[in-house]
Amino acid sequence: MNNEKQTFFHVGLGKTGTTYLQYNVFPYFENITYVQRSYYHNFEYVEKVKNAPGKNVLISREFDHQLEEECKKIHSVFPDARIIIVFRKHGSWLASQYRRSVKNGYAGSFRRYVSLGTKEGAFNHDDMIYFNKIKFLENVFESKPLVLFYEDMKQDPFSFFDAICKFTGASFNPKKINLHPKHKSYNEQQLKAIRKLNGKIFQHQFGYSKNKYVNQIQRIFRMLPRYAVLYAARIIPKDWFGKQPLIALDEIKAIDNYYREDWENCRQYAAGKNKNW
């Protein structure tokens, strides 16, 4: 790293531990200024922080479909920004995305949600080629991204955090880091219950106000009935909604096999580039 003050963006994919990092890890990094995700869209504020004397700047935001569009915005304001991105094995990532979508109103099956090799699912084939995202980041920004993996964070969190610190010039005290997840996932019974009612009682697609305060109120009132069902489902007898699993293990394995080459390409890229930081 050079001695000039730098701006780092963690453009985390959803369901790769982004929220955990934003609340349990990044605020406790030392020798760097961390800008909370709520300030992400206020680039004037980020610019002000960047131009103030002192430490490097780190800002984190979660993206999925918006990744390319938002990274172009980042580059337009911060052309010298350095990027951190975290990937999760394809099957596990889609399964976690599906669970979140079911909680939020999706009523279809996991197979329909994925639609391997097509553009019909929630995440089509082009969305799932992680290596294309790496090449995109290389083409847009002046420096190569730091590529990390969710599985590595689960297996050895402190080494994962240390990799980010070496890249950004930050440091951390392991005693200050809470290793417990920020949010726990809902269990199989709860999600099967809410999926049963999705499309009948709850709608998956609906409009939200552009006013952020009205938008927040709408989200609260639309989620309250869902949370009531989710918590009530904890006391419903097991298999009340059938013995078929929400997501079959074979389906996850099929996804991993389908995208094996892409996953290996990303791993090889990280093994070759990350050691330079």
Give the number of other Cβ atoms within 10 Å of residue 201's Cβ. Answer: 12
109 and 134 fall within a common domain: yes
Backbone angle region of 272, left / alpha / beta, with phi > 0 → left and psi within -120 to 50 → alpha: alpha
99 and 153 fall within a common domain: yes
Give the number of other Cβ atoms within 10 Å of residue 69's Cβ. Answer: 9
Residue 1 lies in a domain: no
62 and 139 fall within a common domain: yes
pLDDT score of 202: 54
With beta carbons less than 8 A apart as the criterion, state whether 56 and 168 touch.
yes
Q: Print the domain residue range for 197.
A: 188-246
266 and 211 fall within a common domain: no
Q: How far apart are CA 102 and CA 247, in angstroms?
A: 12
SS3 for 195-262, per residue?
HHHECCCECCCCCCCCCHHHHHHHHHHHHHHHHHHHHHHHHCCCCCCCCCCCCCHHHHHHHHHHCHHH
pLDDT score of 1: 44
pLDDT score of 192: 78
201 and 119 fall within a common domain: no
Question: DSSP labels for 138-196?
Answer: HHHSSSPPEEEEHHHHHH-HHHHHHHHHHHHT-B--GGG---S-SSPPPPHHHHHHHHH
91 and 198 fall within a common domain: no
Residue 251 lies in a domain: no
pLDDT score of 220: 61
194 and 105 fall within a common domain: no
Residue 253 lies in a domain: no
With beta carbons less than 8 A apart as the criterion, state whether 42 and 92 touch.
no
How many domains in the chain? 2
With beta carbons less than 8 A apart as the criterion, state whether 190 and 234 touch.
yes
Residue 143 lies in a domain: yes
Task: Look up the CATH number of the domain holding residue 168.
Answer: 3.40.50.300
37 and 124 fall within a common domain: yes
pLDDT score of 173: 97
33 and 75 fall within a common domain: yes
Residue 139 lies in a domain: yes
Give the number of other Cβ atoms within 10 Å of residue 220's Cβ. Answer: 10
117 and 233 fall within a common domain: no
160 and 268 fall within a common domain: yes
pLDDT in 10s for each residue of the chain, 277 residues: 445 789 999 998 999 999 999 999 999 999 999 988 888 777 777 777 877 777 899 999 999 889 999 999 899 988 999 999 999 999 999 999 999 888 887 888 999 899 887 778 888 888 899 999 999 999 999 899 999 999 999 999 999 999 999 999 999 999 999 998 766 677 777 887 778 777 665 555 555 556 766 666 666 656 666 666 666 656 676 666 677 889 999 999 999 999 999 999 999 999 987 655 5
Q: How far apart are CA 274 and CA 268, in angstroms?
A: 10
